[in-house]
Amino acid sequence: MSKGFQIAIGALLCAGLLGWYGLSNLDSDATYRYFDTLEEFIASGPEKRVGEAMRIKGYVADGSIDRRVDDREVRFRIQNDPTHAGGPPGPTFVVHYLSLETPDLFQDGAEVVVEGHVASQSSGEVFLADNVLAKCPSKFQAMAEETTPASGTEL
Amino acid sequence: MGTIGNYSLQLALLFACIGVGVGIYAGVTRREDWTRVAERSVGVVFGFTSLAMVALFYALATNDFTNEYVAAHSARSMELYYRLSALWGGQAGSLLLWVWMLTAYASGALFVNRHQHRALAPWVSAVLLGNAVFFLSLLTFSTNPFATVETVHVVSDGNGMNPLLQHPVMMIHPLMLYTGFVGFAIPFAYAFAALITGRLDTTWFRVTRRWSLFAWAFLGVGLMLGGRWAYEVLGWGGYWAWDPVENAALMPWLVATAYLHSVMIQEKRDMLKIWNLVLIGLTYSLCLFGTFLTRSGIVQSVHAFTNAGWFTPVFLTYTLIMAAGFFIALAYRSRSLRSANRLESVVSREASFVVNNWLFMALLVMVFWFTMYPVFTELTIGEQRSWGPVWYNLFASFIGLGLLFLTGFGPLIAWRRATGSSLRRQFLVPGSVGIATAVVLGLWIQREPMAIAYWAMSAFVTAAIFQEYGRAISARMRRGESAFQATISLLQRNQRRYGGYIVHLGMVLCLVGIAGAAFNKESLANVRPGDSAALDEYRFEYLTADPIPEQHYGGARARVALYRDDEPLAVLAPEKRMYWLEQQPNSIPAIYSTLREDIYIILTAIEPDGSATLKVYRNPLVNWLWAGLVLFSLGCVAVLWPTPQRNQAA
As a whole number of angstroms, the distance between CA B598 and CA B617 comes to: 8
Please check whether residue A99 touches B, CB under 8 A: yes
**Percent of chain A predicted with pLDDT > 70:** 77
- pLDDT given at position B650: 41
User: Confidence band (pLDDT; 50, 70, 90) for B496?
Assistant: very high
Side-chain-side CA neighbours of B24 within 13 Å: the count stands at 8
pLDDT: which is higher, B509 or B645: B509
Mean pLDDT value of segment B438-462: 97
pLDDT at A122 > cutoff 70: yes
Please compute the mean of the pLDDT values over residues A19-47 and round it to a whole number.
72
User: Are A56 and A111 a contacting pair, CB within 8 Å?
Assistant: no
A107 touches chain B (CB under 8 A): yes
CB atoms near residue B149 (< 10 Å): 18
- Residue B80 has a CB neighbour count (10 Å cut-off) of 9
Closest CA to B259 of B104, B364, B339: B364
Nearest CA in chain B to A99: B524
A31 contacts B386? CB cut-off 8 A: yes
Tell me whether residues B342 and A32 touch, CB distance under 8 A. Answer: no
Q: Is the pLDDT of residue B332 over 70?
A: yes
C-beta atoms surrounding B6 within 10 Å: 19
Residue B271 CB contacts under 8 Å (≥ 6 apart), including other chains: B265, B339, B341, B343, B350
Confidence band for B364, pLDDT divided at 50, 70 and 90: very high
- Surface-to-core class of residue B235, CB atoms within 10 Å of its CB (0-12 exposed, 13-18 middle, 19+ buried): buried
Residue A1: pLDDT band with limits 50, 70, 90: low
Which H/E stretch holds residue B91? helix B91-112
Q: How many CB pairs under 8 A join A and B?
A: 121
Q: Which amino acid is at B314?
A: V
Whether the CB-CB separation of B645 and B551 falls below 8 Å is answered with no
- CB of B347 within 8 Å of a chain A CB? The answer is no
Q: What letter represents residue B222's amino acid?
A: G
Residue of B304, B342, B604 lying closest to A100 (CB–CB) = B604
Instruction: Please tell me the distance in Å from B415's CA to the nearest CA on chain A.
Output: 14
Mean pLDDT of B632-636: 97
Average pLDDT over residues B103-107: 97
What residue type is assigned to position A4 of the chain? G
Nearest to B90 by CA among B317, B312, B308: B308
Q: pLDDT confidence of A138, banded at 50, 70, 90?
A: very low
Query: What are the phi and psi torsion angles at B532 (to 5°)?
Result: -125, 155
Lowest mean pLDDT among B38-47, B336-345, B557-566: B336-345
Which residues, other chains included, contact A143 with Cβ-Cβ below 8 Å and sequence gap of 6+? Answer: B72, B159
Tell me if B155 and A149 make a contact (CB, 8 A cut-off). Answer: yes
β-strands A73-79, A92-97: how paired? Answer: antiparallel
Residue in chain B nearest A102 by alpha carbon: B604
Provide the 10 A C-beta neighbour count for residue B120.
24
Q: How many whole angstroms separate alpha carbon B453 and alpha carbon B361? A: 22
| Sheet arrangement for strand B597-606 | B521-527, B612-620, B597-606, B590-593
What is the average per-residue pLDDT within B402-430? 94
pLDDT of residue B546: 92
Q: Where are the domains of chain A?
A: 36-138
Cα A114 from Cα A108, distance rounded (Å): 15
Q: Least CA distance to A109: which residue of chain B?
A: B583
Nearest in space to B229 (alpha carbons), one of B295, B301, B162, B171: B171
Question: Pairing mode, if any, of strands A124-134 and A92-97?
Answer: parallel
Nearest Cβ partner of A153 from B156, B358, B390? B156
**Local confidence band at A136 (pLDDT 50, 70, 90 cut-offs):** low
Q: What is the percent of chain B with per-residue pLDDT over 90, rounded to a whole number?
A: 77
At B8 the pLDDT is 96
pLDDT of B300: 61
Contact between A154 and B355 using a beta-carbon 8 Å cutoff: no
**Å between A69 CA and nearest CA of chain B:** 7
- Of B263 and B381, the structure prediction assigns the larger pLDDT to B263
Look at B362 and A137 and tell me if their CB atoms are within 8 Å: no
pLDDT level of residue B276 (50, 70, 90 thresholds): very high
User: What's residue B501's pLDDT?
Assistant: 97
Tell me the whole-structure pTM to 2 decimals. 0.90
- Averaged pLDDT for residues B128-134: 97
Residue of A nearest to B586 (CA): A104
Rounded mean pLDDT of B625-639?
A: 97
Average pLDDT over residues A119-127: 88
Q: Tell the burial category of B605 from Cβ atoms under 10 Å away from its Cβ (0-12, 13-18, 19+).
A: buried
On whether any CB of chain A is under 8 Å from the CB of B306, the answer is yes
pLDDT over threshold 80, residue A45: yes
Q: Residue B468: what residue type? A: E
Q: Set out the domains of chain B in order of their start, with CATH numbers.
A: 1-161 (no CATH), 519-624 (2.60.98)
pLDDT above 90: residue B100:
yes
Report pLDDT digits (tens) over B524-573. Answer: 999 999 999 999 999 999 999 999 987 778 899 999 999 999 999 999 99
For residue B337, give the nearest of B154, B200, B472 by alpha carbon.
Answer: B200
B194 membership: H or E segment, kind and range: helix B185-197
- Report whether A122 contacts A95 (CB < 8 A): no
According to the model, what pLDDT value does residue B645 have?
A: 61
* DSSP calls for B242-304: --HHHHHHHHHHHHHHHHHHHHHHHHHHS--HHHHHHHHHHHHHHHHHHHHHHHH--S--SS-
Q: What is the rounded average pLDDT of the residues A67-82?
A: 90
- How many CA within 13 A on the CB side of residue B470? 9
CA distance B605 to A106: 11
Nearest one of B188, B27, B186, B40 to B118, comparing CA atoms: B27
* Region A59-85 average pLDDT: 87
Closest partner residue to A101 among B344, B354, B604, by Cβ? Answer: B604
Q: Which helix (H) or strand (E) holds B442?
A: helix B420-445
Tell me the pLDDT tens digit for each residue of B283-325. 999 999 999 888 777 776 544 444 557 788 888 899 999 999 9
User: CATH topology for A36-138?
Assistant: OB fold (Dihydrolipoamide Acetyltransferase, E2P) (2.40.50)
Q: Most A CBs within 10 Å: which of B62, B73, B343, as the mutation test of the A interface? A: B343
The mean pLDDT value for A59-64 works out to 90
Which pLDDT does position B155 carry in this prediction? 84
Distance CA B253, CA B223 (A): 9
Q: Torsion angle, CA of A83/A84/A86/A89, rounded to 10 degrees?
A: 0
Identity (one letter) of the amino acid at B107? S
Higher pLDDT, A3 or B404: B404
pLDDT of residue A145: 34
* C-alpha separations of A13 from A18, B153, B359, B363, B547 in Å: 9, 63, 12, 15, 60
Residue A52: exposed, middle, or buried by beta-carbon count in 10 A (0-12, 13-18, 19+)? Answer: exposed
In this model, does residue A139 exceed pLDDT 50? no
pLDDT at B306: 46
Q: Are B555 and B578 in contact (CB under 8 A)?
A: yes
Q: Which residue of A has its CA nearest to B165?
A: A136
Confidence category of residue A148, pLDDT binned at 50, 70, 90: very low
Per-residue confidence band for A149, with pLDDT thresholds at 50, 70 and 90: very low
| Strand partners of residue B150 | none
**Does residue B627 have a pLDDT over 80?**
yes
Rounded Cα gap, residues A117 and A96, in angstroms: 10
- How far apart are the C-alpha atoms of B125 and B322, rounded to whole Å? 15
Residue A140: pLDDT band (50, 70, 90) is very low
Q: What is the mean pLDDT of chain A?
A: 77
- Mean pLDDT for chain B overall: 92
Minimal Cα–Cα distance from A66 to chain B, Å? 10
Instruction: For residue range B566-604, list pLDDT tens digits in order.
Output: 999 999 999 999 888 777 888 899 999 999 999 999 999
Mean pLDDT of B168-185: 93
What is the ipTM score, two decimals? Answer: 0.73
- pLDDT tens digit sequence for B47-98: 999 999 999 999 999 999 999 999 999 988 888 999 999 999 888 999 999 9
Which B-chain residues 358-377 have CB contacts (< 8 A) with chain A? 358-359, 362, 374
d(CA B48, CA B84): 19
Identify the CA nearest to B632 among candidates B506, B499, B517.
B506
Of residues B276 and B380, more confidence is placed in B276
Residue A48 CA: distances (Å) to CA of A90, A124, B422: 21, 12, 70
CB contact under 8 A, A105 and B303: no
In sequence order, what DSSP letters do the residues of B486-501 get, joined into one string? HHHHHHHHTHHHHHHH
Roughly how many angstroms between the first and final C-alpha of chain B, as a whole number?
50
| A151 pLDDT above the threshold of 70 | no
Q: Which parts of A18-134 are beta strand (E)?
A: 32-33, 36-37, 53-60, 66-68, 73-79, 92-97, 111-121, 124-134
Residue B206 to residue B190: CA distance in whole angstroms: 10
A121-142: average pLDDT: 74
- B236 vs B327, higher pLDDT: B327
CA A149, A153, B1, B4 dihedral sign is positive
* The pairing of beta strand B590-593 with beta strand B597-606: antiparallel
Find the helix packing angle between B91-112 and B32-61, rounded to 10°: 140
